[in-house]
Structure 1
Amino acid sequence: MVIETTQIRVGDETEHIQRCWIVQTVANMSKNLAQGDEPLGSTVQVPSSIWSTHAVPSKITPTFEICNIKRTYQLEVRLGFDVGYFKVRILVPA
Structure 2
Amino acid sequence: MNQYTVYILKCADGSYYTGVTNDIDWLLYEHKIGYDTKSYTFKRRPVELVFTEHFGDVNKAIAFEKQIKGWSRAKKEALMKQDWGALKELSKNSSGK
Length-normalised TM-score, structure 1: 0.26
In terms of fraction of residues, the more helix-rich structure is 2
In terms of fraction of residues, the more strand-rich structure is 1
